[in-house]
Amino acid sequence: MAGTVGGSIGLDAEYYCRRCDARKDLVPHVTRLLQTCETVDSQDEIEKILNLGFCILRGSQRADAKGLLKRIEVAITKVKLVFSRQENLWRL
């Protein structure tokens, strides 16, 4: 089970493993996702990765997750802006 705030077991950007009965922090995994974006050239792939990170952290009350979520939001905006400019250059 994974989740953000609330629910019956109170997960906040965590994954609960039923097998080992432990909580795993998802923030480091999202950080690695963002590092993956540095090596990807496709706008679609970058947006998919950023959207996944956004979905994982959305609604979190933790300061570190909120900060990372803000970085993801900025990155999504920049990716859309950069790639839309490139498309406009190709049209000229």
Phi-psi domain of 49 (left: phi exceeds 0; alpha: psi -120 through 50; beta: other): alpha
- 51 and 37 in contact (C-beta within 8 Å)? no
* More confident: 9 or 4: 9
Domain extent listing, the chain: 28-91
7-52 confidence digits (pLDDT tens): 567 788 898 888 888 889 999 999 999 999 889 988 889 999 999 9
Phi, psi of 15 (to 5 degrees): -120, 135
User: Residue 30: what residue type?
Assistant: V
Single pTM value for the model: 0.77
3-state SS class at 51:
helix
d(CA 40, CA 38): 6
